[in-house]
C-alpha cells in the first residue's frame, strides 16, 4: 500500500479498483485540454463531475485496494459508524438505486459473524412501512454485510439535539409510526430490545422508521467488549421488574421514554457513560411526572406517557396495539379541542393546494437543520406537503425512482454552497426533471453566482436577504408559469 503522488497514479489506481471508468477519464482529460494535469486539478475535477466521491478519493489516495464494493453495491461514502459495524451509502451497479450497506467490522468477524447473519435474516423477515427494510444479508469468509433501504432524513436523536422540543402533534405522529412498526413485529413474534432515539429514523416527509430489529443482542455483545453497553437500560429494567428479556412491555416502556423526551426536551433516564451505575431500581420508579417537567404537555398525551412508563409491567400497556389505540384517541381529542397555534396555522392557508384541493409536494434541498425547519414550517403552514433533502444529487436521483417525488423544488445554497447552484442547473437539464418548477435561493455571500444559474419561465433565482413572503411568491410564480406552458 503506497500513497498517490501524481495525477497518473490517481487515474490508474482509481481504474484498478473499479471506481473510475477509462472513457470518463478520457473525457475529463479531453475537456481539460491536456494529459499533463497536476494531481490537485485532476482530483478536484473528478469530484466536481461526481466521477469520484470524497470517500472514494481518500481511499484511492491512501493506496487502499478494498472497501469500494460489496457485492453489486458501490460505496459512495460512510454515513454512520457504531461499535461493531459501519453504514455506507451505496448505489447498485446495475439499477442505480441507492441503498444503505451495513458492514461488520473486521475485528468482530471471528466472534460475531454468525450472529450478524442470523440477526440480519431475522430483520429481513419484517416488511412494514415503519421498519427499515432489509433486502440482502451476505455472510461469507471475511465479508459480512446487510443491505437496507437508504432513508433520506436523520435519526430522532439528531433531530432532538436541534429541535429540543417537538410540537405535540408532530411528536404523536412520530410515535404512531414507531408503535405501528413495533406492533407489526410483535405480531410476528419479534421484539426490538434496543429502542432508542438513534434507532428511530425520521424520513424527509416526517415518517418514523425503526432501525436494527434483531441486531440489539449483537450490539450489546460487541459493545460489551468495547466497554460501553448500549442496551444497558433494557437489562436494568428487566432485572428490576423481573420480566423476561423479550417482553414487548419493555419496548413499550422505552417508547414512552422517547415520547417523554420529544415533548419535554429532556430524557427521563440518566445519560452519560456511567449509566450502568446509575440505573438502579429506583431510577425506573422515580421518573419525574411529565407534567412537572413540561407543564404545557397536553394532559391526554401525559396520560399516555404515564401509563407507558409504569414501573410494574402489568400496569403498562400490554401490547403496542393497545398503546397505539390510546394514542390515536388522545390525538383525536386534542385536535377536536384545537391543538395549539401550529395546527391552526397549518390550516390557515390553502396556498399550497392544487385545483383538486390536494397539498402540493414541495422538496426543500438544504443541509442546515435549522434552515430546514424554518422552510418546512413556512410551507407547511401554507398548505404544502414538505419533503427535505440535504444533498442536491440525492434529491435529483429520487426522480429516477419516483417521477412524482415533488411538484416543485427549492434549492438553498446556505450550507450546501456551490453544489446547490450546480444541482439547480442539473435539475433543469436532466430529462426526468427539466420540466419541473424550481427556485434557487442564494445566500447573500453567494449572490455573485446568480448569473450562472440556468433560469426559465418555471425556474427562478432569489438572493438573500428576502422576506418569507417573497420566497412563497417565487414558488407560486414558477408553479403558475409551468402550468400555462
Domain ranges of the chain: 7-61, 69-149, 153-341, 361-483
β 438-442/408-412 pair status: parallel
Instruction: State how far the Cα of 240 lies from the Cα of 283, in Å rounded to an integer.
Output: 10
- Give the full edge-to-edge strand order of the sheet including 153-155: 153-155, 200-203, 208-210
Instruction: State how far the Cα of 100 lies from the Cα of 134, in Å rounded to an integer.
Output: 9
- pLDDT score at 382: 83
Sequence-distant (6+) residues with CB within 8 A of 273 are 228
**Ordered DSSP codes for 12-30:** HHHHHTTSS-HHHHHHHHH
Distance of CA 241 to the CA centre of its chain: 34
User: Please, which pLDDT band fits residue 272 given cuts at 50, 70 and 90?
Assistant: low
Segment 438-460, tens digit of pLDDT: 999 999 999 999 999 999 999 99
β 361-365/385-389 pair status: parallel
Give the dihedral of Cα atoms 34, 38, 44, 45; nearest 10 deg: 10
Segment 107-157, tens digit of pLDDT: 888 888 888 888 888 888 999 999 999 999 999 989 999 999 999 888 999
Segment 320-344, tens digit of pLDDT: 999 999 999 999 888 877 644 443 3
**Cis amide bond preceding 86, omega within 30:** no
Q: Does domain 69-149 have CATH number 3.30.1050.10?
A: no
Q: Is the pLDDT of residue 287 over 80?
A: yes
Instruction: State how far the Cα of 211 lies from the Cα of 198, in Å rounded to an integer.
Output: 9
Q: Is the pLDDT of residue 78 over 70?
A: yes
CATH fold for domain 361-483 = Rossmann fold (3.40.50)
Segment 17-70, tens digit of pLDDT: 999 999 999 998 888 887 788 999 999 999 988 899 999 999 999 999 999 999
- pLDDT score at 234: 82
Segment 350-374, tens digit of pLDDT: 678 776 667 889 999 998 888 888 8
**In which element (H, E) is residue 157 found?**
helix 156-163
C-alpha cell recorded at residue 68: 469500494
- pLDDT score at 274: 57
**In which element (H, E) is residue 215 found?**
none
Write down the pTM of the prediction. 0.68
CATH fold for domain 153-341 = Transferase(Phosphotransferase); domain 1 (1.10.510)
Closest CA to 324 of 129, 186, 178: 178
Total Cβ atoms within 10 A of residue 303: 14
CB 135 within 8 A of CB 128: no
User: Please, which pLDDT band fits residue 227 given cuts at 50, 70 and 90?
Assistant: very low
Amino acid at each position: 500500500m503506497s500513497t498517490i503522488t501524481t495525477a497518473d497514479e490517481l487515474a490508474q489506481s482509481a481504474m484498478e479498483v473499479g471506481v473510475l471508468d477509462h472513457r470518463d477519464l478520457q473525457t475529463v482529460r479531453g475537456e481539460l485540454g491536456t494529459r499533463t494535469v497536476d494531481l490537485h486539478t485532476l482530483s478536484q475535477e473528478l469530484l466536481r463531475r461526481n466521477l469520484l466521491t470524497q470517500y472514494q478519493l481518500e481511499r484511492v489516495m491512501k493506496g487502499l485496494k478494498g472497501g469500494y464494493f460489496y457485492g453489486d453495491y458501490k460505496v459512495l461514502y460512510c454515513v454512520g459508524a457504531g461499535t461493531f459495524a459501519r453504514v455506507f451509502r451505496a448505489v447498485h451497479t446495475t439499477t442505480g438505486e441507492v441503498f444503505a450497506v451495513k458492514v461488520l467490522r473486521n475485528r468482530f468477524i471471528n466472534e460475531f459473524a454468525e450472529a450478524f447473519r442470523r440477526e440480519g435474516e431475522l430483520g429481513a423477515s419484517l416488511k412494514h412501512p415503519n421498519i427499515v427494510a432489509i433486502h440482502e444479508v451476505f455472510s461469507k469468509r471475511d465479508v459480512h454485510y446487510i443491505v437496507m433501504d437508504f432513508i433520506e432524513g436523520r435519526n430522532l436523536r439528531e433531530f432532538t439535539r436541534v429541535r429540543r422540543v417537538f410540537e405535540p402533534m408532530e411528536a404523536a405522529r412520530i410515535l404512531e409510526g414507531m408503535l405501528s412498526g413495533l406492533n407489526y413485529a410483535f405480531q410476528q413474534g419479534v421484539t426490538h430490545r434496543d429502542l432508542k432515539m438513534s434507532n428511530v429514523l425520521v424520513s424527509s416527509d416526517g415518517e418514523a422508521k425503526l432501525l436494527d430489529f434483531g441486531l440489539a443482542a449483537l450490539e450489546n455483545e460487541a459493545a460489551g467488549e468495547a466497554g460501553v453497553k448500549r442496551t444497558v437500560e433494557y437489562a436494568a429494567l428487566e432485572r428490576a421488574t423481573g420480566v423476561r428479556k423479550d417482553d414487548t412491555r419493555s419496548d413499550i416502556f422505552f417508547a414512552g421514554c422517547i415520547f417523554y423526551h420529544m415533548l419535554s426536551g429532556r430524557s427521563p433516564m440518566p445519560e452519560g457513560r456511567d449509566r450502568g451505575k446509575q440505573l438502579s431500581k429506583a431510577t425506573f420508579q422515580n421518573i419525574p411526572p411529565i407534567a412537572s417537567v413540561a407543564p404545557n404537555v397536553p394532559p391526554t398525551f401525559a396520560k399516555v406517557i404515564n401509563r407507558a412508563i409504569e414501573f410494574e409491567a402489568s400496569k403498562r400497556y400490554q401490547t403496542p396495539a393497545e398503546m397505539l389505540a390510546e394514542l390515536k384517541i388522545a390525538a383525536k381529542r386534542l385536535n377536536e379541542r384545537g391543538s395549539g397555534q401550529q395546527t391552526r396555522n397549518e390550516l390557515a392557508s390553502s396556498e399550497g393546494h392544487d385545483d383538486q384541493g390536494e397539498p402540493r409536494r414541495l422538496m426543500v434541498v438544504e443541509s442546515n437543520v435549522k434552515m430546514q425547519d424554518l422552510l418546512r414550517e413556512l410551507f407547511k403552514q401554507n398548505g404544502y406537503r414538505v419533503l427535505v433533502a440535504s444533498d442536491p444529487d440525492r434529491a435529483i436521483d429520487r426522480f429516477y425512482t419516483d417521477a412524482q417525488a415533488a411538484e416543485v423544488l427549492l434549492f438553498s445554497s446556505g450550507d450546501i454552497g456551490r453544489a446547490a447552484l450546480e444541482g439547480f442547473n442539473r435539475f433543469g437539464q436532466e430529462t426526468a426533471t427539466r420540466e419541473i418548477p424550481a427556485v434557487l435561493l442564494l445566500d447573500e455571500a453567494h449572490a455573485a453566482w446568480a448569473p450562472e444559474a440556468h433560469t426559465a419561465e418555471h425556474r427562478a433565482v432569489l438572493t438573500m436577504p428576502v422576506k418569507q413572503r417573497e420566497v412563497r411568491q417565487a414558488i407560486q410564480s414558477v408553479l403558475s408559469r409551468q402550468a400555462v406552458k
